[in-house]
Amino acid sequence: MLHYQVESVKSLLFQCNIGLEKESLRVDSQGRMARTRHPFSEDDPHITRDFCENQTEVNTSVCSSAEEAVAEVARHTATIQRALAQLPEREYLWPFSNPPYIEDEDDIPVAVFEGARASKTTYRERLADNYGKYKMAFSGIHFNFSFGEELLRADFRESGESDFQEYKNRLYLELAEKAIAYGWVITAVTAASPLMDASFFTRGRKDEDAFVGMGSVRCSELGYWNHFAPILNYEDIVSYAASIRRYVDDGIISAPTELYYPIRLKPRGQNNLETLAREGVDHIELRMFDLNPLVAAGIDERDVFFAQLLLIFLASTPRLKLSARAQVMAVHNFKNAARYDLGSVKILLPNDSAYVLSAAGRTILGQMKKFFADAGARVLETLSFQEEKFVNPSARYPSVVRRLYGDGFWRKGLQLAKERQAEL
């Protein structure tokens, strides 16, 4: 754990590196998913595709703050919007995590990569066979985070350890294990996708809202999950990589990237298990953020900053060793945190105590407020902003989205997409 009480560490506690990955679907002027090819250069490091050809993905640079990362997302999003506005047949960015009207699977074309990258298309075709294309039409945001080098060096000196990379591996392994136990808090506060077009469930039904009791459909049991709850080994980085590799070797998943898990540890450079085991951890990835249609960038800076605060808080607590049972329950906690009514579900914490989810969220926010009591107004305001979502259900994004965009989700979504582009 971080030696946060030591002044040399405490003074650097907010030093960090943040990178965001934001997915969005392209739609035409009628609100149908675009069937055109990806209109951006294959060599652009900041604008690419994810699963399907009409799903753009913004990748930011490594930023030193939440503000910088969100500002860069906004810049790249604006670049995409301007390019889509100039196409012969104008297109727009769909502002929600849940897709618009889907006529059939042809609306979800697998991303086409060619030449040396052709294997990426083959991999996506395999995913389409295993999970169905409809599920692949969800969009979201991934949050990549690492502590600043100066902070880690200061904490390393306090650790008494002799190898810096082994120290980093241990710190991030322990953090990942704690984030699996408590990361459901982020799902609860960033859920923003309660509405679906009925065509997602019944082909041919068009412009009918579907509400299935979820605040985030993509993070719920209806969304991006494997057909099993993985059990990972957090003892050391080689064991961690091997515990993922065994699911590939046993044919349960086709590649490590098919492990649809809320938390990932990643190496620097080429993202594979061999590099992770050999070179060690560079950063942690949180994968549970919905697109937020209430802000132009698609993500609220306060939510990004809150994720940073939660990771600082968790990294400053004693190690938490999760049993196999606790890891299985942690996955269920994430799915429960995706519900619309957080007062109607419970979570089971690692000590086997069951709590109503909204109450558990208030408890964790209270603990964070005590931990960050002298950290300044911005920190406490951010924590209060998140705490209110557990206190007042109408303050949560799903409630606001349902009020604003219900009774015509697809039509209102298209109107919002056009307004966002016109704002530039």
Tokens in use for 162?
């002799």
Domains contained in the chain, CATH given: 7-422 (3.30.590.20)
Asked whether the beta carbons of 234 and 228 are under 8 A apart, the reply is no
pLDDT number for residue 118: 84
pLDDT number for residue 127: 84
pLDDT number for residue 120: 87
User: Which residue matches tokens 């098919």?
Assistant: 258
Low-confidence ranges of the chain (pLDDT < 70): none
pLDDT number for residue 131: 87
Alpha carbons 150 and 7: distance in angstroms, whole number: 13
- What are 259-305's pLDDT values in tens digits? 999 999 999 988 999 999 999 999 999 999 999 999 999 999 999 99
